[in-house]
Structure 1
Amino acid sequence: MERIIERTDDGSATLFVPELNEHYHSTKGARTESQHIFIDMGLKASSAASPRILEIGFGTGLNAWLTLKEAERSGRNIHYTGLELYPLDWQTVEQLSYISGDEQLTIHRKQSVTDEPSTSNGEQQPAIELFKQLHTSPWGKDVQLTSHFTLRKIETDVNQWITEKRFDTIYFDAFAPEKQPEMWSQELFNRLYVLLDKGGILTTYCAKGIVRRMLQSAGFTVERLPGPPGGKREILRARK
């Protein structure tokens, strides 16, 4: 599929797919949308000490990147599983310029019981190197990118995926229901409910009534929340 790079209102970029007439992110702000819906309303709302995250639609890796940054900020150990049927190559993602060339990320190593209390602010690493690893690391394997963030990418259709694993948070970031109706079915939401541990959270940008009712039918308790600044009026957060 052809993909065209477009700038969004907050200055960050997204991809437009002419074949679907659909964008990967909100044109009102790609980074703003991801941060608000999946990090602030999803990950930060989880009480899990070491969150296990499942993302439906790995895409450009923006949600994973913001999650990695939050893992380093909070010190929580995160295992991140990203599902993607149509992976993007690094050359495409690199052109989105999510990371400036001189940007550094502070990486904190885990302290062992024998370590002296540290006053260090952590080790500075080039952010672009870590972001590239999100996309170039092997599929189907656990890859520990930092001491607090482990990634497993799986090239698959979620409707065909079988797993015994359970998760604390699900980022549901598929293309819109009118573009990918097979990704917004009662059967899939029923399966996702089972994949969440008790108290788990699912967040999505789509606040359509039919989606809310399907989530409720699956067993979730669903709440409407304010959407990202300058973007959609409402989003959905579902709890098990």
Structure 2
Amino acid sequence: MRELIITADGSHTLYVPEMDEHYHSINGAVQESLLIFIKYGFDTCTANPLNILEIGFGAGLNAFLTAMKSLEGNRRVHYTTVEKYPLPENITDSMNYHTYAGKGTREMFRLIHSSPWNSDVRICNNFTIRKIESDITICIPEGTYDLIYFDAFGPDKQPEMWSEDVFKRIAALTRENGIFVTYSAKGQVKRNLIGCGFNVSLLPGPPGKRQIIRADKKAN
């Protein structure tokens, strides 16, 4: 069961009662994603073309904001995202993220969600998405990546997603000097990343969160 919630910045998120967990911050879903994944991730990664791996497609907010960002320049983005539990169309059609991105973007958001799984789909000129319906604890996506968006449910809700074993899988897929961003700044998350070859920095978080993690893959 998923409940649609209005967050502090007016954008939607989803609440999962059985986990007592939200997909994005109740203090502002869009502003959280813009800061953590776009400002600290996309804007600081200079690779072109840019290969992104997202863990936790969820409501598609990060993918949508990244697609919109790709329209601002000439960088080609290939976006691979892993999600175990895709949302039904009646839920995604109710979400209001397009109202933060300008006229005509509702169809782009719908296309991101309606595109077939496990196939490359071109959403706009510079943005291609591949959605993988699976679990990162058992799935190893093909390719290597410049930027990792790690947006699974929290370590206290899904500890297996934040384990050193999972981070080792991700480290093996991350190019030298590649960037890893996530909303969690828990000590164990930091230690697991360091143990897998990342240099970890703590950066100021969005409203309601003091710090977040941005990590860089060490060069061999």
TM-score range, shorter chain: over 0.9
Q: Say if 1:57 and 1:82, in contact at 8 Å, map to a contact too.
A: yes
TM-score by length of 1: 0.88
Q: Give the match for residue 168 of structure 1.
A: 146
Q: Percent identity?
A: 48
Query: Is 1:223 the equivalent of 2:201?
Result: yes
Q: Which stretches of structure 1, 4 residues or more, deviate above 3 A after TM superposition? A: 100-103
In the aligned structure 1, how far is the partner of 2:208 from the partner of 2:72?
Answer: 26
Give the match's secondary structure for 2:117.
Answer: coil
TM-score by length of 2: 0.96
| Unmatched segments (≥5 aa) in structure 1 | 105-125
In the aligned structure 1, how far is the partner of 2:94 from the partner of 2:3?
Answer: 10
| Unmatched segments (≥5 aa) in structure 2 | none
1:211 corresponds, among 160, 174, 189, to 189
Q: Post-superposition shift, 1:162?
A: 2.4
In the aligned structure 1, how far is the partner of 2:129 from the partner of 2:114?
Answer: 12
Q: Give the match for residue 237 of structure 1.
A: 214
Q: Post-superposition shift, 1:159?
A: 1.0
Question: What amino acid sits opposite 1:163 in the alignment?
Answer: P
2:173 corresponds, among 186, 190, 195, to 195
Q: Give the match for residue 92 of structure 2.
A: 93
How many residues are treated as equivalent by the alignment?
Answer: 217
1:81-103 CA distance string (max 9 Å, x none): 01100000221012122224994
Q: Give the match for residue 111 of structure 1.
A: none
In the aligned structure 2, how far is the partner of 1:101 from the partner of 1:158?
Answer: 30
| Change in CA separation of 1:183 and 1:102 when aligned onto 2, cut-off 3 Å | closer
| Change in CA separation of 1:134 and 1:232 when aligned onto 2, cut-off 3 Å | same
Counterparts in 2 of 1:10-21, with a 5 A limit?
Answer: 10-21=9-20
Question: What amino acid sits opposite 2:20 in the alignment?
Answer: N
Q: Say if 1:101 and 1:128, in contact at 8 Å, map to a contact too.
A: no
Q: Give the match for residue 50 of structure 2.
A: 51
Q: Post-superposition shift, 1:74?
A: 2.3
Asked which structure has the greater CA Rg, the reply is: 1
Q: RMSD of the alignment, in Å?
A: 1.4
